Amino acid sequence: MLVRIAGNLARFVLSLLAATLAVFALMRVLPGDPAAIAAGENATPEVVAGLAKQFGTDRPLPVQYWDWFSGLWRGDFGVSYVTRTDISPLVADKVQVSLILVTLAMALALAIAIPAGTIAAVRHNKPSGAVIAAASQLGIAVPGFLLGIVLVSFFALRLGWLPANGWVAPGVDFAGFLARLVLPVIALAGVQSAILVRYVRSAVLEVMHEDYLRTARAKGLSPLGALVRHGLRNAAIPVLTVTSVQFSALIIGAVVIERVFVIPGLGSMLLSAVGNRDLLTVQSVVMVLVAITLVVNLLVDVLYTIVDPRIRAAAQGER
Amino acid sequence: MRNTRPTPAFLVGAAIVALIAATALLSFFFTPFDPLQVNAPARLQGPSLQHWLGTDNLGRDLLSRILVGARITLLVGVVSVGIAVLIGTPVGIWAGMRRGAVEEITMRGADILLAFPALLLAIMFAAIYGASTVSAMAAIGLASVPGFARVARAGTLQVMNAEYVLAARAAAQRPVRIAARHVLPNITGMLLIQCSVTFALAVLAEAALSFLGLGTPPPVPSWGRMLQESQQYWGTFPAMALWPGLAIASAVMGFNLLGDGLRDWLDPKLGRGKA
Amino acid sequence: MSQGNEIQEEPLLRVENLGITAGDTPLVTELSFSMASGERIGLIGESGSGKSLTATALLGLLPDELTPSGSAHLRGFAPDLFTAGDKAMRGLRGDEISMVFQEPLSALNPLMKIGAQVAEVMLVHRTVPTRAAAQRRAIELLASVKIPDPAQAAGAYPHQLSGGQRQRVMIAMALANDPQLLLADEPTTALDVTVQSQVLELISAQVRERGTGLLFITHDLAVVANMCTRVLVLNKGRLVESGDIEKIFTAPAHPYTRALLAASDISATDARGRLFTVDTAAGYVPPALRTEVAKGPAAGAPERSVRPAGEALITATNLDRTYHRARTRAFGPRPVVKALDDVSFSIAAGERVGIVGESGSGKSTLLRILAGLDAPSTGSAVVAGTEVAGAREADLAPLRRQLQIVFQDPMGSLDPRMKVSDIIAEPLLVPGQKLDARGREAAVHQMLGLVGLEPESASRYPHQFSGGQRQRISIARALVNRPSILVADEPVSALDVSVRAQVLNLIADLVDEYALTLLMVSHDLSVVRHLCERVIVMKDGRIVESGDTEQIYNDPVHPYTAQLVASSLDLARELAPNP
């Protein structure tokens, strides 16, 4: 089991390494010299060269990559070419906001999807099951930012129950923090729960056809008892996979939701950096978002090893 | 045995997709108004006989803008799915047939690319090259490659393990021939399903990108941008957001239903349990 | 009839007019039988006969879309089993009626420890006071089904046990609450021969010891003869015949029973040395009535046309094939599995050789290496003048012309998206083959005729054929470019008995007609004995014994071969009068 987890860790580190290379190649090599971009179109070569020296972009690319990469390791993203400020403290600040949003949304999505999907599977040939399945089909089609717009127009602007947008740190005003969190979390969780319902439903339906569930029934367990005692843990395995895949969708979904609700998270930081052509900041934020995705994948891989003894055994070479 | 009749989901999905395609085609020949024609006195009108869906904040006809907006949606979908199919499928088949290091490297590469969702890649491209339809299509297409590579590889592995491929190899059939005669026909169904699922994701990504102002630049109307332009009027004039929102949702649903229907139709075992 | 004294006693189980329908399609029709307590009844039928559905109906676990009619009564339980309702039936399941299923791996929960799964059935019915007592009792039960180190096994997960051990666990689970009735649905079909006989022995001993009624479902007549006292023969959902084993197996009254018996008895051949089929069953004489009973080669061995032994066509020298498992330690060496270990033999042109072994013996790996579909790790294999070891695809072209292969799975060996004509013509579409489209069509039609299929078959797709017909198509494809070597990997093990005989006869006919060298892999000694004059016995990647089939069958030298021969249930031997 430990061997397996060590393997997961090794793969995670390799993926992270590859991701830094990919991000660096895309953001730093493709667009050309940031000094030229920062200096503007009419700048003289001397000005550009001066900026390049200042930014360090006159050095060979591998050196620049190593510089950036070793900085990442220490949590130092460098200084923005545009705003000339340190990127790291900003990122550290905003990442908390985004993580709160994303984690709560995933928790809510799972809290809705697991029971709803299970009911939809158990009652798959009854009206209630069909209604849940149809609702999830509808829900999948409504992107998070659209749901956000609907929620804002109705609950905030029409009814005035909740603030339409903004953000307050929990330490400052906890009630206000919660109030501003409700709509964006629902908007983010909505699509996710619709997607997850489908996967939970099909995973549960799948195990309902398994031989070991028939065995459980042959032992004298009730249909529900058999499902709870033997089915759900088995059904959890494919759902785990989907959850890890959907987490990356949720993170990118949060970028858009932050725009809808004017929340100062990584998404807003990313979008304003794109607007300013502040490529080093874009590069840093993208790297953080990708790293979060990879960490979640790692956690899910480790969870697998804990849930499924077969995977544990595969690493031990049978018995 | 395969079902001989398509499922209702497939028919509904196909109908929605056909309607959107027809809409986009129609818009080349006829729209009730010029979708770009500003008409300040007629701004923010509700539905009327003249403007069936009303007008936006500049008095432009919403119906005409929705009709023309379908073009961008379909264009981005078709091109990005095309990129993904043309790159992902051969890579996946190659990985599945060659196995070994080829498989290991391509699939690890696909895994890493998977950490970059379509929208994130599109935002990066917009940062590098500026917002444009081309960079949106390239980014969404590239981000969809690993999905196709994985599906193609999984299908190929299945087919390559089948005894009929062993029999073909025993009959001295060359790999290219096996790929063409056995692998491709047997994974076409899976690829079709992946196409419609990916199309739905592309529609979503394009809409989000336009909503962020990083998609097709104005004045060309796109559904996502129409939503963005409606932002100030969400409280006072929600119809301006309603119509493009409905258009996006029904397009996504159409392609999802099409994919589900195909799954149930082509492979009842695969689709077991899907709505 | 010798059932006079059983009539007074109330039967353990009484089934009257059982019918099962799916919508309007009848799957089981008017099935009636009764079982005395402790009686062992075999329910026999081929695939689609409704035998498994019958057992599932008795347990009240038919799928929702199937509805039973008629009635069934279990002694000591007032309501009718078919109408009692799930709640009442739950009290019976696992307590009074238990079931052992065919595939023990999928029938056990992969994420739950063995001990907990056995204990559960006692906790559900509260036949033990506490969880701890259930766990203790579970270990006792595991010991009683002869699982080595039962305490450790109780803490293991299903995938950590062997197939035979898993089925023993299922048996322990089924018998935990001392049920009155045990339903066994093909419990040994998925197991190796030597394991099968042990598991059958276990079921038999446990059932006798406890006086449990046994309803044993199988397609294998030899197994029924071994296990049961009475037999019900089912065909297409109808009971065609029932009675004591001796009566049914010596004087079958119904033509279907006779045909089934004739086709199953692989030791009996007609005047041409071919197996009896449904069509020729009339000439079949059951073994007990035969004068020279199953001893010595005369009864079993078909007359073989003696052919002069040619030169060595296949020569294997010190073949090794190793696979690597996943690493156990981060930096240690990867564990190595030897699929083939120092295998050497040679086969002369025109010989018919069988390779016999259980799962994991390396027999299929060997076959694939000889067919150029896998490469040996070390060693050499020269097939029809071509060295397979280290060969590149281009070097194998001569081999591909000389050697063709027939696979086990009649579903998987034909591309579902190709027409039969394209499937059969595929070997003709290689560089060097000069046939044009018309020539290929003629060849396809000739082959279809040869394997006994209609010419119209050419334009159909594989799913429109039965398993036996599909195997004929495979054979046609294998022989279309006139190879000199035919390799067959378990060609009949997925087929029903009545079809099996036909396909074996077809192979025998074609081997004779084309003077083929036949190399056949099988887990079934009797199939090899029928078709091959020489046999190679493999175990754990090694050849343990090889030689003349009859000699090895009658006088095995290696203990493993002896065990294999003794474990193979042979209809003739089961029915032979006990000495």
Chain A residue with Cα closest to B129: A31
In this complex, do B207 and A143 lie within 8 Å of one another by their Cβ atoms?
yes
Please, what is the end-to-end C-alpha distance for chain C in angstroms? 25
The ipTM of this complex is: 0.86
Asked whether the predicted pLDDT for residue B273 surpasses 80, the reply is no
DSSP-assigned letter for residue C389: T
Q: Name which of C450, A147, C412, C546 is nearest B211 in CA terms.
A: A147
- pLDDT, tens digit (0-9, with 9 covering 90-100), for A228-265: 999 988 999 889 888 888 888 899 999 999 988 889 99
Cα(C61)–Cα(C56) distance, rounded to whole angstroms?
5
Q: Which of B109, B124, B204 is nearest residue A143 as measured by Cβ atoms?
A: B204
Q: What is the per-residue pLDDT for C325?
A: 66
- pLDDT, tens digit (0-9, with 9 covering 90-100), for A98-113: 999 999 999 999 999 9
Q: What is the per-residue pLDDT for B1?
A: 40
pLDDT in single tens digits along all 579 residues of chain C: 444 444 557 889 999 999 999 888 889 999 999 999 889 999 998 888 888 999 999 999 988 888 899 999 998 888 888 888 888 999 999 999 999 998 888 999 999 999 999 999 999 999 899 999 999 999 999 999 989 899 999 999 998 888 889 999 999 999 999 999 999 999 988 888 888 888 999 999 999 999 999 999 998 888 888 889 999 999 988 999 999 988 888 888 898 888 888 888 877 888 777 888 877 877 787 766 665 444 434 444 444 555 555 678 899 999 999 887 665 555 556 667 888 999 999 999 989 999 998 888 889 889 999 998 888 999 999 998 889 888 888 888 888 888 999 998 888 889 988 999 999 999 888 777 778 888 899 999 999 999 989 999 999 999 889 888 999 999 999 999 889 999 999 998 888 888 888 899 999 999 999 999 999 999 888 889 889 999 999 998 999 999 999 999 889 999 999 998 888 877 777 776 554
C546 touches chain B (CB under 8 A): no
C467: Cβ–Cβ under 8 A, 6 or more apart, which residues? Answer: C410, C411, C494, C495, C496, C499
Count CB neighbours of B29 within 10 A.
Answer: 6
A113: Cβ–Cβ under 8 A, 6 or more apart, which residues? Answer: A192, A193, A194, A195, A196, A197, A199, A200
- pLDDT, tens digit (0-9, with 9 covering 90-100), for A54-64: 777 778 888 88
Asked whether the predicted pLDDT for residue B220 surpasses 90, the reply is no
Rg from Cα positions in chain C: 26
Q: Sorting pLDDT into bands at 50, 70 and 90, what band is A312?
A: low
Q: What is the per-residue pLDDT for C307?
A: 53
Tell me the residue type at C78.
A
Contact between residue C574 and residue C250 where contact means Cβ atoms under 8 Å apart: no
Q: Which of A7, A230, A315 is nearest residue C109 as measured by Cβ atoms?
A: A230
Q: What is the per-residue pLDDT for C558?
A: 93
In this complex, do A145 and B111 lie within 8 Å of one another by their Cβ atoms?
no
Which of left, alpha, beta for C23 (phi over 0: left; psi -120 to 50: alpha)? Answer: left
Q: What is the per-residue pLDDT for C290?
A: 64
Q: Which of C407, C416, C430 is nearest residue B171 as measured by Cβ atoms?
A: C430
- pLDDT, tens digit (0-9, with 9 covering 90-100), for A117-147: 999 998 888 888 888 988 888 888 888 888 9
> Chains that contact C by 3+ CB pairs under 8 Å?
A, B
For the ranges A65-69, B193-197, B261-265, the lowest mean pLDDT is seen at: B261-265
Asked whether the predicted pLDDT for residue A227 surpasses 60, the reply is yes
Chain C residue with Cα closest to A310: C159
Burial C246-265 (b: 16+ CB within 10 A, else e): ebbbeebeeebbbbbbbbbb
**Which residues in chain B are closer than 8 Å to C404, comparing Cβ atoms?**
170-171
**Which residues in chain A are closer than 8 Å to C160, comparing Cβ atoms?**
313, 318-319
Contact between residue C94 and residue A218 where contact means Cβ atoms under 8 Å apart: yes
- pLDDT, tens digit (0-9, with 9 covering 90-100), for A156-215: 777 878 887 778 887 788 888 888 888 999 999 999 999 999 899 989 998 998 999 999
Chain A residue with Cα closest to B260: A137
Size of interface B-C (CB pairs under 8 A): 66
Asked whether the predicted pLDDT for residue B18 surpasses 90, the reply is yes
Give me the mean pLDDT over the A3-22 stretch. 87
Q: Sorting pLDDT into bands at 50, 70 and 90, what band is B84?
A: very high
Q: Tell me the residues of chain B between 140 and 179 that have a Cβ less than 8 Å away from chain C.
A: 162-164, 166-174, 177
Side-chain half-sphere exposure of C482, counting CA atoms within 13 A: 5
Contact between residue C270 and residue C283 where contact means Cβ atoms under 8 Å apart: yes
The C-alpha torsion from A8 through A9 and A14 to A20, rounded to 10°, is 120
Give me the mean pLDDT over the A29-42 stretch. 72
Q: What percent of chain A has pLDDT over 90?
A: 29
Q: What is the per-residue pLDDT for C300?
A: 42
Tell me the residue type at C397.
A
- pLDDT, tens digit (0-9, with 9 covering 90-100), for C504-537: 999 999 999 999 999 999 988 888 988 999 999 9
**Which residues in chain C are closer than 8 Å to A216, comparing Cβ atoms?**
109, 120
Q: Tell me the residues of chain C between 359 and 378 that have a Cβ less than 8 Å away from chain B.
A: 368, 371-373
What is the pTM assigned to this prediction? 0.84
Please report the DSSP string for A64-123 in residue order. HHHHHHHHHHTT---B-TTT-SBSHHHHHHHHHHHHHHHHHHHHHHHHHHHHHHHHHHHT
Structure tokens at B195: 């196409």
**Which residues in chain B are closer than 8 Å to A279, comparing Cβ atoms?**
127-128
Question: Is the bond preceding B219 in cis, omega lying within 30 degrees of 0?
Answer: yes
The Cα of B210 is separated from the nearest Cα of chain C by a number of Å equal to 43
Side-chain half-sphere exposure of A91, counting CA atoms within 13 A: 24
Q: What is the per-residue pLDDT for C295?
A: 40
Q: Name which of A83, A76, A58, A59 is nearest A279 in CA terms.
A: A83
